[in-house]
Structure 1
Amino acid sequence: MKVAFLGTGIMGRHMADHLISAGHELTVFNRTKSKADDLVARGARWADSPSEAADGQDVAISIVGMPEDVEAVYTGAHGVLSGSTPPPLIIDMTTSTPTLARTLHELAARQNVASIDAPVSGGPAGAEAASLTIMVGGDEPAVRKAWPLFECMGKTVVHQGGPGCGQHTKMVNQILLAGNMIGFAESMAYAEAGGLDPAKVISSIKDGAAGSRALTDFGPKILKGDFTPGFYAKHYLKDLGIALDEARGMKLKLPMLELVQGFYERICREGLNECGTHVLIAVLAADQGSPEASSVLQGLKSSTQ
């Protein structure tokens, strides 16, 4: 297929690379051009705007930062749908809002363009290994057409339902992650207060009932004091806001999620927004009086000033 790939950052560059390896013909766009250099060296064509990248292509795929970025990519002055010959299929793989996914579906349909929402889970490691979980929302004919592309980028691909259902499923994922992160943070604070060796504690519990991907993926990084992002704290705060907004619209109360949102609002307010989501563990440890955690946080804050 001829594919316009929009967004070649920490996730997108790996996903686009797999499509090139599978023989697809890519045209790429990214706000920072240098982040697409490796893909261009691999044979992708550069375009100066989303509309230029997508014009005359078979499909446009996006994975960008925020819902407003998704809107700009598709409905902005130089967006995909403003082109003279937009592709017959658009696929947004950004974690965005179910409401926006449904709106894009309606707007695209007016131009005889099919729209799919297909957010992912698995982080940069999953993107690099083509082992992402892809949560798909959209009409069946469009999803069937997109399926071979998804199989190039992911290992677990599930069609969840109609437009917006992929994004709703990603919100379920993010709510569960919130519980994992706050539980991980408090359990490590308890372990330290009890005089335990955190590395030994993690080795004991990681394969039992309390085990989780958060524990397995973040545990080694936390033990090394490494809070570089696999997933940015600022993007997770965005996801928490989406989940809570959608929950309010469904008359749901999610008190745990509101608590975790408060912590990430503080994390971003204190200049830790470019850290990984697991910086929450250091924040809670510092709150409990850990001098090591306080020192780590001070260093992280200094590095962003």
Structure 2
Amino acid sequence: MLPKENIVIGFIGIGVMGKSMAEHLLDAGYPLVVYSRTKEKAAELLMKGAKWAITPKDLAEKASVVFTMVGYPNDVEEIYLGENGLIPNGKEGSFFIDMTTSAPSLAVKIYEEAKKNGIQAIDAPVSGGDVGAKEAKLSIMVGGEKEAFEAILPLLEHLGLNIVYQGKAGAGQHTKMSNQIAIASNMIGVCEAIIYAEKAGLNPENVLKSITAGAAGSWSLSNLAPRMLNGNFEPGFYIKHFIKDMKIAIDEADHMGMEVPGLSLAKSLYDQLVEKGEENSGTQPFISIGRTNRYG
């Protein structure tokens, strides 16, 4: 466990989920330094007492524990390994925790480079979307050295409830790929269940009352299906980021010689939404594909 009085937290990525996560750490009484490509996104945190860093380098020089929650693996690589990034400019003894869903191989690379500089790098992707982030109820999947995990666990407990150490560097990202595979196929089932209820002349809201409490229950059924019925497609998690995750999972599965037909189908259907300009919507507009496709 890290002594609280020695901790200055840095947070990079003040987006749909990152803002709430950073706010929980600030509310817990930790000094907070933030960086985001768009400073306006951090305005509320700055008003509450967070400090602004002009670059990841500036943040690395000020913070002893850094969380990152950004969009794509190339963003992660630039933030961690770039000339003005975290690892080349971080302090020995620092902890860097990447909560972005990213490539397992990149997590291993970051861990190895950080280790050379006396820094602990941990991959800790999350599941739970905007709701889980706001309520500090995220599921957190952790890869890295066990001792490093134990040292930062009290910080992670401000962000989530289900926090599981999965193993060496990259294990957290591999676990998140399993999570995304389960969600992708489940979303097909959720949408088809709603469409079936509608076509059968049922009240889909009443149907949800029955099936969410039974064996069909899932996070997507309980949290996203009501949004679908209300026509609320605001992002708790962007389609563009989900497609990125599915592509990583497909590539990893291919590398392991594994076929993932359910995942591949889901990605092809989400690709149709991108073609319709929905990449910045939440994942729930997926139901519109089912309503227009032949099987729907």
- What is aligned with 2:240? 234
The residue type equivalent to 1:75 in the other structure is: L
Partners of 1:289 and 1:163 in 2: CA distance: 41
> Any gaps of 5 or more consecutive residues in structure 2?
1-6
Task: Choose which of 16, 24, 45 in structure 2 pairs with 1:18.
Answer: 24
Task: Choose which of 266, 281, 288 in structure 1 pairs with 2:287.
Answer: 281
Cα RMSD, aligned residues only: 1.5
* Structure 2 contact 211–217 (Cα < 8 Å) conserved: yes
The DSSP-based 3-state class of the residue aligned with 1:199 is helix
1:194-252 Cα distance to aligned partner (Å, 9 max, x none): 22221122122110111111111012211111111111111100010011111111111
Partners of 1:217 and 1:39 in 2: CA distance: 27
Task: Choose which of 256, 263, 270 in structure 1 pairs with 2:269.
Answer: 263
The DSSP-based 3-state class of the residue aligned with 1:274 is coil
* Structure 1 contact 54–87 (Cα < 8 Å) conserved: no
Q: Does 182-191 or 239-248 show the bigger shift? A: 182-191
Partners of 1:205 and 1:57 in 2: CA distance: 47
1:220 and 2:234 matched? no
1:122 and 2:167 matched? no
* Structure 2 contact 14–41 (Cα < 8 Å) conserved: yes
> Any gaps of 5 or more consecutive residues in structure 1?
291-305
* Structure 1 contact 50–73 (Cα < 8 Å) conserved: yes
C-alpha displacement at 1:193, in angstroms?
2.2
The DSSP-based 3-state class of the residue aligned with 2:162 is strand
Task: Choose which of 179, 182, 187 in structure 1 pairs with 2:188.
Answer: 182
TM-score w.r.t. the length of structure 1 is 0.92
Partners of 1:50 and 1:112 in 2: CA distance: 18
The residue type equivalent to 2:54 in the other structure is: D
The residue type equivalent to 1:253 in the other structure is: E
Q: Does 153-162 or 188-197 show the bigger shift? A: 188-197
1:135-169 Cα distance to aligned partner (Å, 9 max, x none): 10010121111111101111111101110010111
C-alpha displacement at 1:255, in angstroms?
0.8
Partners of 1:131 and 1:211 in 2: CA distance: 18
C-alpha displacement at 1:21, in angstroms?
1.3
Q: Are residues 202 and 288 of structure 1, via their aligned partners in 2, closer, same or farther at CA, if it must alter by over 3 Å?
A: farther
1:252-302 Cα distance to aligned partner (Å, 9 max, x none): 111111111101111112211111111111221122598xxxxxxxxxxxx
Partners of 1:124 and 1:34 in 2: CA distance: 19
State the aligned residue count: 290
Structure of higher RCO (CA pairs closer than 8 Å, 6+ residues apart): 2
Q: Does 95-104 or 197-206 show the bigger shift? A: 197-206
Task: Choose which of 53, 60, 65 in structure 1 pairs with 2:66.
Answer: 60
* Structure 1 contact 50–79 (Cα < 8 Å) conserved: yes
C-alpha displacement at 1:124, in angstroms?
1.1
The DSSP-based 3-state class of the residue aligned with 1:166 is helix
* Structure 1 contact 94–118 (Cα < 8 Å) conserved: yes
Q: Identity over the aligned pairs, expressed in percent? A: 44
Partners of 2:11 and 2:51 in 1: CA distance: 10
Q: Show the 5 A alignment for 1:108-257.
A: 108-257=114-263
Partners of 2:44 and 2:294 in 1: CA distance: 44
